[in-house]
Amino acid sequence: MTSGEVTVTIDAPPERVWPWVADLGKHAAFSPKPYSVEWIEGEPNVVGSRFRSVGEIPNDKHHVNEGEIIENHPNDRFVLHAHDKDGDYPNTFTLKPVGSSTEVTIRLEFVNMRGMAALLAPIVFPLVGKKDMRARMALLKQKVEAASSG
């Protein structure tokens, strides 16, 4: 199984970081590539609610996923599972207080991969996906710290 994890320390307490992580509507603000989300069932960001997202991946600038919120433990852990025709993609955000700051980790897994994606994910993800994850977390840090100082 292909997976990746990136951690960043944000100069803000978990309760200032949480609204950014646990609101999919805010994820576009810290995405290094175009991203949008719409809710297709349930209350936004609540466990069991379903969404459709559109983002950019290699060779597909309008890639559609559908997904569901699996966990929402305020100021601690937010988990969503996205899927498309090629596989399933659990995304886990974990927050850990470190003094007056917060260590935020995102973990992305590629499971039940099918077809060409099963062959390409282990090659392309380390080259492109991991870089995008680092950029995403750097943008999250920038947005939260700017909002916290303002």
CB 12 within 8 A of CB 97: no
For residues 127 and 52, which has the higher predicted lDDT (pLDDT)?
52
Rounded to whole angstroms, how far apart are CA atoms 48 and 41?
8
Rounded to whole angstroms, how far apart are CA atoms 29 and 143?
8
CB 7 within 8 A of CB 17: no
Number of helices (H), then strands (E), belonging to the chain: the values are: 3, 7
Q: What is the pLDDT of residues 84-130, one digit of tens each?
A: 888 889 999 999 999 999 999 999 887 776 777 777 777 777 777 78
> Model-level pTM greater than 0.85?
yes
Rounded to whole angstroms, how far apart are CA atoms 31 and 100?
25
Q: Domains of the chain, with CATH numbers? A: 2-149 (3.30.530.20)
